Amino acid sequence: MEAADLGSERGGQQVIHTLLLLTLVAVQDTAAGKMVYTKWCAGCHGDNGAGDGQGARHMVPPPRDFTGAIYQIRSTPSGQLPTDADLLRSIDEGLGGTAMPGWKSRLSERQRRDVLAYIKTFSTFFADTTQRPQPIAFSKEPGGDGGADALKVGRQFYDSIGCRKCHGDQGRGDGPSAPTLKDDAGHPMFAANLHENWRFNGGGTVEDIYRRLRTGLDGTPMPSFSDLLEQKFLTDEQLWRVAEYVRSLSPKEPPVVRDVIHAPLTKRVPHAPDDSAWTAVDTYWFPLVGQIIRKERWFAPAVSGVWVKAVHTADSIAIRVAWDDRSQSPDTAWLAHLGRVFSTLSDDSTREQPVPWPDQLAVQFPVSSPTGMERPYFLMGSPSAPVYQWRWSSTARATAIAGLARGVDRFDPIQGAGGGIATQSVYDHGEWRVVFTRALASPDTANQLPLRTGRAIPVAFFAWDGSNGEHGTRMAVSTWYFLALDEPVPARVFISPVLAMVLTLGLGMLVIWRAQQKTSYRRQQ
Ligand code: HEC
Ligand code: HEC
């Protein structure tokens, strides 16, 4: 009761806010908005707002077609126009996980309001000013949130109202319907990976998620669940629990990129990805981006980053790489999706036939430990300066081989069983987990980097999602980072405080003893 009252009060405030904003916007000249639009937006959204700018050919999802007036991020019920405040939010903050940038720091408030007024002129739907879009009177998050019981309720409804059909059992966007999803215009669409809330279009807080559940993302398969509230299938509080459950799947804070992976010294090497020894080891996140330097360029990578852990013993190293991937490729169930990807991205690449490619991962090092800051070209070296790589593929028993890459299109495997590396991998509900192990020393020092303790060893990562059409240069890449095999802490560091104490005490005793000796000696005299 109380929550509902609060909600409508907030709703009222929002209406007033919106009305104020509308009055402001109305007095603005759309000519000024057009100038901003032409300069900053048309390259993606097209001169006439049809979502067909120059850049559009490279993007999944493609830029919004403003002529249809269908918007994802709204405070209004499904099927209705957004409020100006909604549009301004998208313009200010951008849409997470897509090519749509935020403009708050790039354009003045005036410019943002002008361009907002201008994009509304692309559709006649906004012309009828007697029909102002009305925001939903959202409730506030009920108390007692976050506890295990609340999350249990959330999980229960996540299953019963069908979220897992699209988002999958663990929320990584790998549900049974996932390969079939497309937007209203037929473009391929992924169900959001609920483990990466920092990439949600409309923001990643519990409140943002709750709002998206109430409004749906119009133009996409993501429905509104407001009807279920009206039908009393679940209560408003239970829907909040679903939002809390979804929020709990992502880390508390968006991952921070740290430059150096510390591999502590352990007694044994954990070969299996799910070996319990891994739980105590620090995880490092490295974002990946589409490879857009060499043809064929790739603007729509499906793998957004890798989570890395590493440990070493006196003679071996194990590196565990985990990443989210909606499909265990090769998988023919995704061929239709792949066809949609290829027809959406009419970029500089030659048209290919969709083929069920495998998933792949590469871990890259220099061939020898660099002495200064110099490192080979991060994009797989060059013919004269090769890089040393471990290449894993989901086909052929999901094994890996070591070899030398001399640029993006040449890889020479090192002879012998896997080129000296061993791998174990697991695919589990939308996540790959792969452990690579190798001896630290290498008999073939000309081709294989000897891994030594106490040095910063450059390392980089590459990933391919086969079901998304990724192979060859169509891949996700990282830049160089570093791996450090931590040295055993020298014994003297442990002893020294104790030793210092013994010494101080000892010296003190000695001084007292000497003093006493002296006095007694004097006394004797
Ligand atoms: C680099 C390309 C790019 C540029 C530049 C760009 N956009 Fe976008 N924009 C996108 C993409 C892609 C989407 C669709 C994202 C999606 O569907 O999830 C989008 C979506 C939108 C939306 C829809 C939000 C919703 O709720 O559906 C608005 C509004 C918008 N852009 C406004 C602008 C304005 C105004 C500018 C210029 C100041 C601009 N965009 C510049 C790529 C771009
Ligand atoms: C029919 C398939 C489908 C169902 C059912 C579905 N979703 Fe989605 N959901 C999607 C798609 C597709 C997207 C991505 C839309 C986009 O990228 O613009 C999405 C996006 C999301 C997002 C991200 C919102 C944002 O701001 O980007 C969240 C959170 C989410 N869904 C949660 C849920 C929950 C919770 C349920 C169940 C109550 C659910 N979804 C049911 C298909 C579905």
Section 456-464 average pLDDT: 96
Which CATH number characterizes residue 240's domain? Answer: 1.10.760.10
**305 and 388 fall within a common domain:** yes
**404 and 496 fall within a common domain:** no
Expressed in angstroms and rounded, the spacing between residue 76 Cα and the centre of ligand 2 is 17
Expressed in angstroms and rounded, the spacing between residue 164 Cα and the centre of ligand 2 is 10
pLDDT at residue 495, rounded to an integer: 52
Last residue of a domain, one of 218, 248, 278: 248
**368 and 437 fall within a common domain:** yes
350 pLDDT exceeds 70?
no
**221 and 292 fall within a common domain:** no
Q: Which range marks the domain in which residue 510 is found?
A: 492-525
pLDDT at residue 352, rounded to an integer: 76
Q: Is 132 domain-assigned?
A: no
Expressed in angstroms and rounded, the spacing between residue 12 Cα and the centre of ligand 2 is 28
321 pLDDT exceeds 90?
yes
Determine which residue's CA is closest to atom 42 belonging to ligand 1. Answer: 100
Residue 208 CB partners (closer than 8 Å, separation 6+): 200, 202
Ligand nearest to the CA of 59: 1
Q: Is 391 domain-assigned?
A: yes
Expressed in angstroms and rounded, the spacing between residue 291 Cα and the centre of ligand 2 is 27
Determine which residue's CA is closest to atom 36 belonging to ligand 1. Answer: 41
pLDDT at residue 498, rounded to an integer: 54
DSSP assignments along 247-312, one per residue: HHTS-SSPPPP-SEEEE-B-SS---STT-GGGGGS--EEEE-EE--SSSSP-S--S--EEEEEEEE
Q: Is the dihedral of CA 324, 329, 334, 340 positive or negative?
A: positive
pLDDT at residue 523, rounded to an integer: 46
- Give backbone dihedrals phi and psi of 276, rounded to 5 degrees, phi first: -65, -20
Determine which residue's CA is closest to atom 21 belonging to ligand 2. Answer: 192
Expressed in angstroms and rounded, the spacing between residue 101 Cα and the centre of ligand 1 is 7
Instruction: Assign 3-class secondary structure to 345-366.
Output: CCCCCCCCCCCCCCCEEEEEEE
Q: Is the dihedral of CA 472, 478, 479, 485 positive or negative?
A: negative
87 CA closest ligand 1 atom index: 29
Paired tokens of 46: 């097209």
Count CB neighbours of 420 within 10 A.
Answer: 19
108 pLDDT exceeds 70?
yes
pLDDT at residue 28, rounded to an integer: 55
**191 and 121 fall within a common domain:** no
pLDDT at residue 525, rounded to an integer: 40
Section 390-400 average pLDDT: 86
Q: Is the dihedral of CA 228, 234, 239, 240 positive or negative?
A: positive
**91 and 168 fall within a common domain:** no
Q: Is 254 domain-assigned?
A: no
Q: Residue 462: in which H helix or E strand, if any?
A: strand 456-464
**265 and 412 fall within a common domain:** yes
Mutate to test the pocket of ligand 2, among 222, 241, 249 (most ligand atoms within 8 A of CB): 222
pLDDT at residue 57, rounded to an integer: 84
Expressed in angstroms and rounded, the spacing between residue 50 Cα and the centre of ligand 1 is 11
pLDDT at residue 522, rounded to an integer: 47
| Domain count within the chain | 4
Last residue of a domain, one of 248, 281, 311: 248
Ligand nearest to the CA of 209: 2
106 CA closest ligand 1 atom index: 38
Ligand nearest to the CA of 52: 1
Q: Is 353 domain-assigned?
A: yes
Q: Is 34 domain-assigned?
A: yes
Q: Is 137 domain-assigned?
A: no
Q: Is 316 domain-assigned?
A: yes
The CA distance from 72 to 219, in Å, is 7
Determine which residue's CA is closest to atom 34 belonging to ligand 1. Answer: 41
Share the mean pLDDT of the chain.
Answer: 88
**499 and 477 fall within a common domain:** no
Expressed in angstroms and rounded, the spacing between residue 178 Cα and the centre of ligand 1 is 24
Section 186-210 average pLDDT: 96
- Give backbone dihedrals phi and psi of 42, rounded to 5 degrees, phi first: -60, -30
Paired tokens of 502: 């013994």
**67 and 192 fall within a common domain:** no
Residue 111 CB partners (closer than 8 Å, separation 6+): 32, 36
Ligand 2 proximity of 210 Cβ (cutoff 6 Å): no
Q: Is 328 domain-assigned?
A: yes
Ligand 2 proximity of 239 Cβ (cutoff 6 Å): no
Ligand 2 proximity of 217 Cβ (cutoff 6 Å): yes
Expressed in angstroms and rounded, the spacing between residue 321 Cα and the centre of ligand 2 is 27
Ligand nearest to the CA of 103: 1
406 pLDDT exceeds 90?
yes
Burial of 454 (0-12, 13-18, 19+ CB in 10 A): exposed
128 pLDDT exceeds 90?
no
**84 and 182 fall within a common domain:** no
The three-point CA angle 247-250-254 to 5° equals: 115
496 pLDDT exceeds 60?
no
Confidence of residue 4 (pLDDT cuts 50, 70, 90): very low
Last residue of a domain, one of 194, 222, 248: 248
The CA distance from 143 to 145, in Å, is 5
The CA distance from 85 to 132, in Å, is 12
Ligand 2 proximity of 70 Cβ (cutoff 6 Å): no
**204 and 285 fall within a common domain:** no
Ligand 2 proximity of 60 Cβ (cutoff 6 Å): no
pLDDT at residue 491, rounded to an integer: 54
Which CATH number characterizes residue 314's domain? Answer: 2.60.40.1190
Confidence of residue 506 (pLDDT cuts 50, 70, 90): low
For residue 496, CA distances in Å to 454, 491, 500, 511 come to 21, 9, 6, 21
Expressed in angstroms and rounded, the spacing between residue 73 Cα and the centre of ligand 1 is 11
**317 and 228 fall within a common domain:** no
